Amino acid sequence: MIVNRALVGVFAFSSLVFSAPAALADGDTLRIAHYDLPAQLGMPYGTFGSNGALPLHAVYDAMVYVDNQGAPHPGLALSWEAQGIDTWVLKLRDGVTFHNGKSFDATVVAANIAALTKDDVIRTQQVTRQLAGIVGARVVDRLTVEIKTAFPDPILPLRIAIMRPHEPAAWRDMGAEGYGTHPIGTGAYKIEKWTKESVTGVAFSEGWRKTKIPRLEILALPETAARVQALNSGQVDIAWSLQPDSIAPVEGAGNKIVSSPSNNTLNLMLLHAKDGSPVTDVRVRRALNYAFNKESFIKNVLLGRTVAASQPSSPGMTGHFADIAPYPYDPDKAKQLLAEAGYPDGFNMAAEIVVAVGEFKDTMEAMANDFKKVGVNLELRVVTIPDFVKRVIGIVPWQGDAFSMMYEGYPSSDMARVMNTHSCLVMNPRRKAPAHTCFNEIMPAIKSMNTTFDMVERNRFARQIAAFYHDQATAVFSHVRVDIDGLSPKVQNYSLVNRVIPFHALTFAQ
């Protein structure tokens, strides 16, 4: 038997406590400004980007929580252990109730897992893609469930951190659309109404954790400047996903900045298999990496708050190797490689990018400016987040040579999570096109990393993968992302760990 037991105790988020008071109009309501709300509203299986994960965790509890070092902590699952190579047994938390009064137990978990493959809506969602190896579940007793996997899965406890269980009877009665507007979870807030523009909810008094602030409002404000203004004028208590240039005006108005490490790196993904594109040549891909002065960008734009990226993982993740160094800034080397590849005078290329999130726009513009110095003209084409998602999952083809995206560690903080999106492994019933990154020669290592329970061997395979992605320059690597949030000084006990905020623990200073 292979055993992986839960850490002792309930997952405790680190907290930042502020003591300076700030008067707002309503001390009973936590008001938050967000850059976007998920297209599928409060439905728990859609986006797991920060636009969805942050508000969804106010409504739903996760099965497991993963910290910034990649360690699992109890959520709705208290403990877990592997039995053989294709079976995991979970012990569940007792005394948990859904917002509609129904109990959470093993039958609920089994029904949620069955829906991953049997429900026509759920089985095609982004969250389901991250749980593709799960094939079924069996109720052992009221608080014990056995999960079966199609292949050996050594990190299943980390993967299920993305599971936000729905209440099966309500899902059956309401359907996905109804569940989106009136989601039912076990989390801190019971939702009154969820639209594309706002979310309103009340504290769930029957929750297994006591929520301190009676009401919640989340407002979608796409422009960073609008979120900063809303915070500084006292209209909201928290402004999520700010940019480095927001820090001075926020602090200047007497508010606070919280910087939180993430397990995501921001990059320009290169469509290496696109017919006719210059980036099909590895020399061109490497040249673009040498052409980007990422250290200058980090120092001058990101104010030195992070580090350069070098591989498809970040320092907090399992599968990151410090000795795989970032590409240095070397425009002469970039020009040499471009000439060797047959582009001595450079070339034109296009990238599809999203700009609503943090420093995405600044990063892509900095790359374009640096590329121009070596003769490469990068056209930046802005797309909406819903259109971007359609391209990522292959419903709509990419129009350019590259696109902005993160190597994303949420929620498992493991290299396998990244490969689930950025390798030939990608599987989705709705996919109409090949995966954007697919090198068959590295697939044996990826598959072995995904299935071996021997942690030494897993690490060896992960190193091969990290080095391969670096050497093949699958992206123009930029930097490890840092989440920047603005807070009124009256907000206490705030932290952001792996896209989870302890909503139940937040309080207002008296």
Taking the C-alpha atoms of residue 164 and residue 210, their distance in angstroms, rounded to an integer, is 19
Q: State residue 263's pLDDT score.
A: 87
User: Do the domain assignments include residue 283?
Assistant: yes
User: Do the domain assignments include residue 16?
Assistant: no
Q: How far apart are the first and last CA of the chain?
A: 52
Task: Determine the 3-state secondary structure of 69 from DSSP.
Answer: coil
Instruction: Note whether 46 and 118 are same-domain residues.
Output: yes
Could you tell me the two tokens for 441? 């020669």
Q: How many domains does the chain have?
A: 2
Could you tell me the two tokens for 436? 């954007």
Annotate 343-399 with three-state secondary structure: CCCCEEEEEEECCCCCCHHHHHHHHHHHHHCCCEEEEEEECCHHHHHHHHCCCCCCC
Instruction: Please check whether residue 274 is in contact with residue 464, taking contact to mean a CB–CB distance below 8 angstroms.
Output: no
Q: State residue 508's pLDDT score.
A: 96
Q: State residue 9's pLDDT score.
A: 30
Taking the C-alpha atoms of residue 266 and residue 307, their distance in angstroms, rounded to an integer, is 11
Instruction: Note whether 378 and 432 are same-domain residues.
Output: yes
- How do beta strands 77-82 and 87-92 pair? antiparallel
Q: What is the CATH number of the domain that holds 450?
A: 3.10.105.10
Sign of CA pseudo-dihedral 362, 364, 365, 366? positive
User: Do the domain assignments include residue 6?
Assistant: no
One-letter amino acid at 284 equals: V
Instruction: Please check whether residue 105 is in contact with residue 93, taking contact to mean a CB–CB distance below 8 angstroms.
Output: no
Range of the domain at 33: 29-255+488-508
Q: Give strand ranges (E) for 35-156.
A: 64-66, 72-74, 77-82, 87-92, 134-141, 144-149
Instruction: Note whether 470 and 331 are same-domain residues.
Output: yes
Could you tell me the two tokens for 67? 């910290």
Ramachandran sector of residue 234 (left: φ over 0; alpha: ψ -120 to 50; beta: rest): left
212-249 in b/e form (b: 16+ CB < 10 A) is bbebbbbbbbeebeebbbbbbeebbbbbbbbbbebbeb
Nearest-CA neighbor of 360 among 478, 464, 248, 220? 478
Instruction: Note whether 276 and 189 are same-domain residues.
Output: no
User: Do the domain assignments include residue 322?
Assistant: yes
Q: State residue 426's pLDDT score.
A: 64
Within 59-195, where are the H helices? 106-118, 126-129, 156-159, 168-181
Is the bond leading into 411 cis (omega within 30 degrees of zero)?
A: yes
Q: State residue 12's pLDDT score.
A: 34
User: Do the domain assignments include residue 2?
Assistant: no
Q: State residue 122's pLDDT score.
A: 82
**Per residue of the chain (510 residues), what is the pLDDT tens digit?**
233 333 323 333 333 232 233 334 467 999 999 998 988 898 898 877 788 889 999 999 999 999 888 899 999 999 999 998 999 999 999 999 999 999 999 999 999 999 988 888 887 787 877 888 899 999 999 999 999 999 899 999 999 999 999 999 999 999 989 999 999 999 999 999 999 999 999 999 999 999 999 999 999 999 999 999 999 999 999 999 998 889 999 999 999 999 998 889 999 999 999 999 999 999 999 999 999 999 999 999 999 999 999 999 999 898 999 999 999 999 999 999 999 999 999 999 999 998 867 788 999 999 999 999 999 999 999 998 788 878 887 788 889 999 999 998 888 899 998 998 899 876 444 445 568 999 999 999 999 999 999 999 999 999 999 999 999 999 999 999 999 999 999 999 999 999 999 999 999 998
Instruction: Note whether 445 and 496 are same-domain residues.
Output: no
Could you tell me the two tokens for 103? 């109990």
For 326, half-sphere exposure in the C-beta direction (CA atoms, 13 angstrom radius) is 24
User: Do the domain assignments include residue 474?
Assistant: yes
Instruction: Note whether 472 and 399 are same-domain residues.
Output: yes
Instruction: Note whether 182 and 223 are same-domain residues.
Output: yes
Q: State residue 18's pLDDT score.
A: 29
Q: What is the CATH number of the domain that holds 492?
A: 3.40.190.10
Nearest-CA neighbor of 508 among 482, 480, 489? 489
User: Do the domain assignments include residue 3?
Assistant: no
Instruction: Note whether 141 and 277 are same-domain residues.
Output: no
Instruction: Note whether 177 and 272 are same-domain residues.
Output: no
pTM: 0.84
Instruction: Provide the 8-state DSSP code for 231.
Output: H
Q: State residue 355's pLDDT score.
A: 82
Taking the C-alpha atoms of residue 140 and residue 107, their distance in angstroms, rounded to an integer, is 9
Instruction: Please check whether residue 469 is in contact with residue 229, taking contact to mean a CB–CB distance below 8 angstroms.
Output: no
Instruction: Note whether 179 and 275 are same-domain residues.
Output: no
At residue 348, φ and ψ (nearest 5 deg) are -105, 145
Instruction: Note whether 57 and 118 are same-domain residues.
Output: yes
User: Do the domain assignments include residue 17?
Assistant: no
Instruction: Note whether 337 and 248 are same-domain residues.
Output: no
Q: State residue 27's pLDDT score.
A: 78
Instruction: Please check whether residue 462 is in contact with residue 417, taking contact to mean a CB–CB distance below 8 angstroms.
Output: no
